[in-house]
Amino acid sequence: MVCFLRYYKQPLPHEMKNCTILKLKYEDGQFTLQDHFEPDFSELDH
């Protein structure tokens, strides 16, 4: 979730949209995780 914490206050950069855990909805001034998504932590291995 490091990349999420880094970008949660601004629109997601284009390259971050491929990070599966960052599939969020912006509602009521808050980011909320989508109801359905497949966590892929392989992108956080490095």
pLDDT by residue (tens digit) across 1-45? 445 545 555 555 555 555 544 455 555 555 555 544 455 556 655
Say what the pLDDT of residue 20 is: 47
Confirm if 6 and 15 have CB atoms less than 8 A apart: no
Quickly tell me which residue has 């808050």 as its tokens. 30
* Whole-angstrom distance, CA of residue 5 vs CA of residue 3: 5
Say what the pLDDT of residue 40 is: 58
The three-class DSSP label of residue 7 is helix
Say what the pLDDT of residue 27 is: 53
pTM score over 0.85: no
Say what the pLDDT of residue 29 is: 52
DSSP string, 24-37: EEEETTEEEE-SS-
